[in-house]
Amino acid sequence: MSSGNYEKDLTAILDASFFIHGVMILFVTILFVSKSFQKAGTIRVFVQSPQFILVLFIAALSSFLILFAPFMGIRHLLLIIPFLLLLAEPIIEKAGLGMVKFSLTASVVLSLLLGISDWKYAFYYKNTASGIMRGMPPGSTVWATGTGAWQWYAQQNGMIRHTVQTEQGKPGEYLVIARGLPAYRVSSEKPFAVLAKIWGQPSLLSYFCVSDGASLYSGQFGKPGWKLSKRAVDTVYVCQYVSDAP
């Protein structure tokens, strides 16, 4: 099995695992709320209970994210976790000490690994943007595709934001394309030559990959928040606009 197919299968397994866990959490939450309501006996008693306040926060945050968030970001969902943990307090109390220690240790370790991988992801763009501009001739006009942190680092180092709609590159000017990010497309009417390719070397610290189109920040079904990957963080192409062929 090739590494590409292997990673694809692992990603599919992770994707299914995240979905199943989400369904289980939703089911257990509904079941727990239902039992709390039955225990209260009446709507008035339930409304006055601490569980109702937690349910209200969870429902309000979920509704806001579903209805108004421009995209489903992983960081958005983090806001709900404290309320879910508080709501699950009776279940956590009944769990054995070994299970609690395992869950806490696994959460801390995974959070550290994802945090380090995310830091390496951002540092790659920061280091690449400054390195490219150091190698440019003085007074060069440099355009940069992409979004997010890469675009911020690019502009901090003197690059100009590029979009297909506002493309104004002229022969002799430079174009930097971050292939792994959205908004990397360029116009086919403006020819350019590729001068160099810069890729982020993968390592054990980036194996818990969050660089699939900034997946840790914006996820969807088929693109989990993180995955296991030995691929490069991203590939940045340094190009130069050339004159049209005669």
Are residue 123 and residue 225 in the same domain, yes or no? yes
Query: Given this model, what pLDDT does residue 246 score?
Result: 47
Are residue 73 and residue 132 in the same domain, yes or no? no
Are residue 66 and residue 133 in the same domain, yes or no? no
Structural domains of the chain, count: 2
CA atoms within 13 A on the CB side of 110: 10
Are residue 236 and residue 139 in the same domain, yes or no? yes
**Is residue 100 one of the residues assigned to a domain?**
no
Q: Would the pLDDT of 240 be above 60?
A: yes
Percentage of residues in the chain with pLDDT exceeding 70?
A: 91
- Burial of 158 by CB count in 10 Å (0-12 exposed, 13-18 middle, 19+ buried)? middle
Nearest to 22 by CA among 224, 176, 206, 195: 224
**Is residue 102 one of the residues assigned to a domain?**
no
Domain extent at residue 27? 3-94
Is 178 strand, coil or helix?
strand
Are residue 61 and residue 10 in the same domain, yes or no? yes
pLDDT tens for 148-173 read 788 899 999 999 988 877 777 888 99
Q: Would the pLDDT of 1 be above 60?
A: no
Are residue 207 and residue 128 in the same domain, yes or no? yes
**Is residue 246 one of the residues assigned to a domain?**
no
Are residue 122 and residue 237 in the same domain, yes or no? yes
Helix ranges restricted to H, 69-187: 74-77, 81-87, 89-94, 97-134, 148-156
Contact predicate 232/202, CB 8 Å: yes
* Mean model confidence pLDDT for the chain: 82
Query: Given this model, what pLDDT does residue 214 score?
Result: 65
